[in-house]
């Protein structure tokens, strides 16, 4: 149906242009005769006009059609299109002139005076060009002057992404009007792209803002470093420009090209000291393509991103397992919409359940011939789990044990346990339970089922992140509460964490505890300040920052790349292997868990004391 509508629209457009041009060619030829005969055309030459008119119209229309001049948009008439008009009309002169001489050769009289085709060329060229450019002139000059809502926009980056963004902004007549480019490429200085000048380098942004009176900045370089992004952001804020948009890194998109639909407001992730994530996509695709994948905690921050990004690697089926039915339902709607958008067909099943329910998991593993398990379900809130350690033990330890045992029983090929930096020298129940989960995975590793754990730090935008808390505090006018002025954390965006999880899972041979390179640790107070600025406010002027002191189980600094025994490099620059001496057999793990069962319903202090005996380096009182 859509195709028929588009064909009908194209046909109407073609007929409109042909009729319009035919009218122009009639007038043009008539004026040519008037000029040739000093505005009085003898009757004999009026006959000549009527005889030659069909030839003039047919030849010109045919050549215009041949040069695809009926398939361009008035809105986008360009220099190239103008040259096509010139060439078509010059060819028309040649063909009509040739016909005129052949006519003379046969009947010994010219069909039209020999000067007529030349005069007609100039009149036709002028008239056609004026009509073709009229809409562009109207929209870009008259209409733009009348529309006060249109924001002058500067585009950072004159490469493929910048060119496409500029073209779409012009074409779709949105409320942003690109007036200039900035690009560090010397070869692009002082050139024009879609009639928009490249007026300098990125460092010239301050002067460019003042000289062009812009209101919006678009960063159209997907690989631009965070330092440059932060520099652009700070310059924008100094010039009271609140509208700063950015194109995302194409690594995180389920497509290769950028469009204006991908533009988003600059956010905290863009300002962090992170290197662009690169993965071996062919290795990951080989690992996932055609496989049946089971994901626990599917509606959580990490689980839902695994679902979203795994689509790009064409699994056969994805089973999303989640205890929160509302979030799982919302997730199913989002994934269905995403699949429609990108035109992919992948089978998704959504199951409500608890990883602590061994029998239900067993039934699921019997029903589906699962190849890969991504285990993201866990209790992660550090201070809260200090008060309810029994719940952390039930989910993080026994829930993981259920999945590990069943994966071995049903001969799952790979089991990927999502772990945390807090498992290193743990000072919290959450960290200690996640460390035991790693120990369980390593103990059960064998040639049939390969168990891998992947550690990383805080992910921005997750439900346990400080960002939603800070945003809520800013929304209510502050203060923003930070526990300590020197507190630092490693941060990673959810999409890049998931990409590296895929990479780790694909390259792991089993038994490893992989550690992701989280970059440089970030001061939480700096994070709070950047977030306040992103809302167009000033830290400690518009929004106060207050320090509240460390909470139970918190560290001042997270240890990640310096695990107790250190790390070893892998073939991927962002992934390391923790050198952990796991002297745990399956029998020893089972013995520990049997003992732990007797402590679940005892006091929190008793649970912590037992975990201190079991977990290497765990000290409940170790808060540094």
The tens digit of pLDDT for each residue in 38-85 reads: 788 877 778 788 888 888 889 888 888 888 777 665 555 667 777 888
Do both 300 and 433 map to the same domain? yes
Question: β-pairing, 192-193 with 196-197?
Answer: antiparallel
What percentage of the chain's residues is helix, strand, coil (to nearest 5)? 50, 15, 35
* pLDDT reported for residue 623: 38
Structure tokens at 39: 């505005």
- Measuring CA to CA, how many Å separate 173 from each of 81, 238, 299? 21, 29, 38
**Which of 130-144, 328-342, 436-450 is predicted with the least confidence, judged by mean pLDDT?**
130-144
Could you tell me if 363 and 345 lie in one domain? yes
Residues 155 and 138 in one domain: no
Rounded Cα gap, residues 365 and 373, in angstroms: 10
Mean predicted confidence (pLDDT) in 115-143: 76
Q: Which run of H or E residues covers position 574?
A: none
Strands (E), 229-279: 243-246, 264-265
Q: What pLDDT was estimated at residue 622?
A: 43
**Using one digit for the tens of pLDDT, what is the confidence trace for 376-406?**
999 988 888 988 999 999 999 999 999 999 9
Average the pLDDT over 511-540 and give the result.
78
Whether 597 has a pLDDT exceeding 80, the answer reads: yes
Q: Do the Cβ atoms of 355 and 322 come closer than 8 Å?
A: no
In a domain, residue 546? The reply is no
Query: Who has greater pLDDT, 439 or 12?
Result: 439
pLDDT band for 562, please (50, 70, 90 cuts): very low
pLDDT class of 240 with cuts at 50, 70, 90: confident
> What is the per-residue pLDDT across 532-556, written as a single tens digit (0 to 9) for each?
877 777 788 888 888 877 766 566 6
In this prediction, residue 421 has a pLDDT band, given cuts at 50, 70 and 90, of confident
Across the chain, mean pLDDT equals: 81
Note whether 437 and 571 are same-domain residues.
yes
Residue-wise pLDDT tens digits, 572-581: 877 877 777 6
Residue 346 has pLDDT above 70, yes or no: yes
Nearest to 321 by CA among 291, 381, 382, 362: 362
Give the confidence band of 271 by pLDDT, cuts at 50, 70, 90: low
Our CA angle for 393, 399, 403, nearest 5°, is 150
Residue 116 CA to residue 29 CA, distance in Å, equals 8
Question: Is residue 101 domain-shared with residue 208, that is, in the same domain?
Answer: no
pLDDT at res. 552:
64
Question: pLDDT value at position 254?
Answer: 46
Selected residue with higher pLDDT from 266 and 292: 292
- Strand duo 491-493 + 458-460: pairing: parallel
Going by the DSSP 8-state scheme, the letter that residue 175 receives in this structure is S
pLDDT at residue 6 in the model: 36
4-8, 257-261, 350-354, 620-624: which is most confident? 350-354
Maximum CA pair distance of the chain?
A: 119
If asked whether residues 165 and 184 sit together in one domain, one would say yes
Pairing of strands 513-516, 575-578: antiparallel
CA 343 vs CA 284, 338, 394, 614: distances in Å: 21, 8, 41, 50
Helix (H, G, I), strand (E, B) or coil at 46: helix
Domain boundary at 98, 125, 144, which? 144
Do 406 and 501 belong to one domain?
yes
Q: Give the confidence band of 587 by pLDDT, cuts at 50, 70, 90.
A: very high
* Whether 108 and 230 share a structural domain: no
Q: What does the alpha-carbon distance between residue 181 and residue 236 come to, in Å, rounded to a whole number?
A: 15
Is the same domain home to 22 and 130?
Answer: yes
Instruction: Give the whole-number percent of the chain exceeding pLDDT 90.
Output: 25
Residues of the domain holding 581: 281-458+493-516+564-614
Question: Both 22 and 107 in a single domain?
Answer: yes
182, 202 in Cβ contact below 8 A?
Answer: yes
Q: Say if residues 154 and 214 touch (Cβ distance below 8 Å).
A: yes
3-state SS, residue 375:
strand
C-alpha 225/C-alpha 66 separation (Å) is 47
Q: Which residue has the higher pLDDT, 483 or 335?
A: 335
Q: What is the mean pLDDT of residues 132-156?
A: 65
Over pLDDT 70: what percentage of the chain? 83
Does 547 reside within a domain? no
The answer to whether 530 touches 271, Cβ cutoff 8 Å, is yes
CA–CA distance, 441 with 404 (Å, rounded to integer): 7
pLDDT of residue 412: 95
The reply to whether 140 falls in a domain is: yes
CATH number reported for the structural domain that contains residue 509 in this entry: 3.40.50.720
Q: Is there a contact between 546 and 483 (Cβ–Cβ < 8 Å)?
A: no
Which letter, b or e, does each residue of 37-72 get, where b requires 16 or more Cβ atoms within 10 Å of its Cβ? eeeeeeeebeebbeebbebbbebbbebbbebebbeb
Lowest mean pLDDT among 152-166, 177-191, 514-528, 599-613: 514-528
Q: Cβ atoms within 10 A of the Cβ of 31, count?
A: 16
262 plus 238 within the same structural domain:
yes
What's the CA angle centered on 32, arms 27 and 33, to 5 degrees?
Answer: 100
Do residues 84 and 129 lie in contact, with contact meaning Cβ atoms separated by under 8 Å?
A: no
DSSP 142: I
Residue 209 lies in a domain: yes
> 573 or 509: whose pLDDT is higher?
509
Catalytic machinery residues:
422
**Is residue 353 domain-resident?**
yes
Domain boundary among 114, 144, 174: 144
DSSP-derived pairing of the beta strands 216-219 and 243-246? parallel
Among 231, 236, 185, residue whose Cα is nearest residue 214: 236
| Whether pLDDT at 350 is above 80 | yes
Q: Is 90 exceeded by the pLDDT of residue 239?
A: no
448 CB-near residues (< 8 Å, 6+ apart):
408, 411
In a domain, 302, yes or no: yes
Q: Is residue 473 part of a domain?
A: no
pLDDT of residue 138: 61
More confident residue, 90 or 528: 90
Say if 64 falls within a structural domain.
yes
And the tokens for 509? 């041979």
Look at residues 121, 124, 135, 24 and name the one whose alpha carbon lies nearest to residue 77.
135
From 402, 403, 329, 396, select the one nearest 370 (Cα to Cα). 403
Last residue of a domain, which of 104, 122, 144?
144
Q: With left for phi above 0 and alpha for psi between -120 and 50, is residue 157 left, alpha or beta? A: left
SS3 assignment for 443-512 = HHCCCCCEEEEEECCEEECCCCCHHHHHHHHHHCCCCEEECCCCCEECEEEHHHHHHHHHHHHHHCCCCC
Counting the structural domains of the chain, the total is 3
Q: How many CB atoms lie within 10 A of CB 289?
A: 11
301 pLDDT higher than 90: no
**pLDDT for position 554:** 60
Which region among 77-86, 230-239, 402-411, 473-482 has the lowest average model confidence (pLDDT)?
77-86
Same domain, 180 and 101: no
């Amino acid at each position: 149906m859509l195709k028929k509508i588009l064909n009908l629209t194209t046909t109407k457009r073609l007929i409109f242009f042909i009729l319009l041009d035919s009218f122009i060619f009639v007038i043009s030829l008539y004026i040519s005769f008037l000029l040739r005969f000093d505005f009085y055309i003898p009757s004999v030459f009026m006959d000549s006009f009527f005889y030659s008119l069909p030839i003039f119209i047919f030849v010109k229309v045919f050549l215009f059609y041949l040069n695809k001049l009926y398939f361009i948009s008035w809105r986008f008439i360009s220099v190239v299109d103008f040259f096509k008009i010139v060439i078509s009309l010059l060819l028309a002169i040649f063909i009509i002139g040739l016909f005129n001489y052949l006519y003379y050769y046969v009947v010994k009289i010219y069909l039209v005076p020999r000067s007529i085709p030349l005069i007609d060329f100039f009149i036709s060229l002028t008239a056609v060009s004026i009509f073709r450019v009229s809409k562009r002139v109207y929209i870009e000059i008259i209409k733009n002057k009348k529309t006060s809502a249109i924001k002058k926009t500067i585009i950072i980056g004159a490469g493929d992404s910048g060119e496409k963004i500029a073209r779409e902004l012009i074409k779709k007549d949105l409320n942003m009007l690109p007036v200039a480019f900035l690009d560090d490429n010397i070869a692009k200085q002082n050139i024009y792209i879609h009639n928009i000048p490249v007026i300098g380098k990125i460092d010239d942004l301050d002067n460019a803002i003042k000289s062009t009176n812009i209101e919006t900045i678009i960063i159209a370089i997907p690989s631009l470093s965070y330092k440059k992004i932060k520099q652009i952001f700070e310059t924008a804020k100094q010039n009271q420009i609140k509208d700063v948009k950015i194109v995302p890194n194409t690594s995180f998109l389920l497509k290769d090209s950028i469009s204006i639909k991908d533009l988003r407001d600059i956010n905290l992730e863009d300002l962090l000291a992170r290197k662009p994530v690169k993965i071996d996509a062919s290795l990951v695709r080989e690992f996932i393509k055609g496989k049946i994948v089971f994901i626990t905690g599917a509606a959580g921050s990490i689980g839902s991103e695994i679902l979203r990004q795994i689509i790009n690697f064409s699994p056969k089926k994805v089973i999303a397992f989640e205890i929160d039915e509302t979030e799982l339902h919302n997730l199913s709607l989002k994934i269905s919409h995403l699949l429609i958008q990108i035109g992919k067909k992948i089978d998704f099943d959504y199951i409500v359940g608890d990883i602590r329910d061994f029998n239900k998991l067993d039934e699921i593993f019997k029903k589906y011939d699962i190849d890969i398990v991504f285990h993201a379900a866990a209790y992660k809130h550090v201070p809260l789990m200090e008060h309810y350690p029994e719940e952390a033990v039930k989910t993080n330890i026994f829930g993981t044990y259920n999945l590990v045992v069943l994966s071995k029983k049903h001969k799952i090929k790979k089991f990927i346990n999502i772990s945390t930096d807090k498992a290193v020298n743990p000072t919290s129940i959450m960290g200690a339970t996640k460390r035991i989960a790693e120990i369980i995975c390593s103990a059960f590793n064998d040639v049939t089922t390969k168990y891998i754990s992947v550690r990383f730090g805080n992910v921005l935008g997750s439900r346990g992140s400080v960002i939603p808390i800070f945003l809520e505090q800013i929304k209510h006018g502050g203060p923003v509460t930070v526990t300590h002025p020197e507190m630092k954390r490693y941060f990673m965006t959810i999409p890049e964490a998931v990409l590296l999880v895929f990479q780790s899972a694909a390259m792991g041979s089993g038994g490893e505890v992989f550690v992701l390179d989280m970059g440089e640790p970030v001061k939480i107070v700096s994070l709070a300040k950047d977030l306040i600025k992103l809302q167009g406010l000033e830290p400690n002027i518009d929004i106060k920052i207050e320090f509240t002191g460390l909470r139970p189980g918190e560290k001042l600094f997270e240890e990640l790349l310096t695990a107790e025994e250190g790390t070893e490099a892998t073939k991927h620059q962002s992934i390391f292997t923790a050198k952990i001496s796991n002297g745990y057999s399956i029998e020893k793990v089972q013995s520990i868990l049997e003992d732990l069962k007797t402590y679940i319903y005892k006091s929190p202090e008793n649970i912590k004391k037992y975990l201190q005996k079991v977990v290497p380096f765990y000290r409940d009182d170790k808060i540094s």
